[in-house]
Structure 1
Amino acid sequence: MKQFLTVVVLSLLALPALSQQTAQKIAASRDRRAILEILKRQTDDWNTGRVDKFMAGYWNSDSLTFVGKVGVTYGYQATLANYKKRYPDRESMGTLKFDILQLDLLTPTIAYVIGRFHLTRPEIGDTDGHFTLLWHKIKNRWVIVSDHSS
């Protein structure tokens, strides 16, 4: 009987730790899903020619960084302007496809994504490359704070 009570007491002491781990796993799963949903929405927006809506996945801040083939761009507005300049019409935008290779939640508010993009553009030629996205959860919303695409 004494052993039984010891097991019961130890089990009850372990419950809070187990429930906290479960809550953390649920939160991490929810955050992964949120990030993947944003990337899916960006793909849909890009493929319908809505660059302004595509940019909703980015942090609307002068501190946003975008690193591309031509160097570093600072700020949301400058990044949007570069997208519009580089992809002025549906033909140049093509059809976007993302392949997510890695998605790591480094902390409850920081995530890191590595992926591959492919633009199908029948008239002017396809293009593809890789990207690294640093995400930050700001005001309970995941946003891209740094994008390195090449």
Structure 2
Amino acid sequence: MTKNLFGGCTLLLLTACATTRPAAVQAPIRQVLTTQAAAWNRGDIPAFMQGYWRSDSLVFIGKRGPTYGWQQTLDNYRSSYPDATAMGQLAFSDLYITPNGPQAAHVVGRWHLTRPTAGDVGGHFLLVFRQVKGHWVIVADHTNSER
């Protein structure tokens, strides 16, 4: 009985130590999104893409369905937003970051592009983040637009 109680207490202690502190996950993820918005707002799509996992396994799901791979996602952004005017100014809001463990999280939020000549556009997104080689990156992005 004592052995089972000791084992149970040890397991409980290990579980408590392994529990992710939300702030430890949320702050670096918010920083990725802030850095992405700043890059976008200066018209720098390659810098914006640094927030994504540079892998053929990256998935982006938009209105045309899924796109696989970092390079293809970059190419799609460049095609859809050929210049700074088309890109406009990006803002993220209503971010709800949920840790899924010490090295994974998902984010639900809103995005909005202010574009004086092309018209504003925005929508919602669900991002899956993972910590890869010590850096938080987006491994899956499901974004919709409301036009």
> Normalising by structure 1, what TM-score?
0.83
Which structure's residues are more often helix, by fraction?
Answer: 1
Which residues of structure 2 form unaligned runs of 5+? 1-8
Aligned length: 134
Rg comparison, structure with higher value: 1
Moved over 3 A (4+): 20-24
- Number of the residue aligned with 1:42: 36
Residue 139 (structure 1) shift: 1.4
- Number of the residue aligned with 1:105: 99
Q: 1:76 to 1:53 in 2, by over 3 A?
A: same
Q: Which of residues 136, 140, 147 in structure 1 aligns to 2:141?
A: 147
Q: Contact 1:100 / 1:113 at 8 angstroms: preserved in 2? A: no
Q: Take 1:30 and 1:107, find their aligned partners in 2: how far apart are those partners?
A: 11
Which residues of structure 1 form unaligned runs of 5+? 1-12
State the superposition RMSD in angstroms: 2.1
Counterparts in 2 of 1:32-111, with a 5 A limit?
32-111=26-105
- Number of the residue aligned with 2:120: 126
- Higher RCO, Cα 8 Å, sep 6+: 2
- Number of the residue aligned with 1:6: none
3-state DSSP of counterpart to 1:88: coil
* Percent of pairs with identical residues: 44
**Per-residue Cα deviation, 1:55-100 (whole angstroms, up to 9, x for no partner):** 0000000000000011110000000000000000011000000014
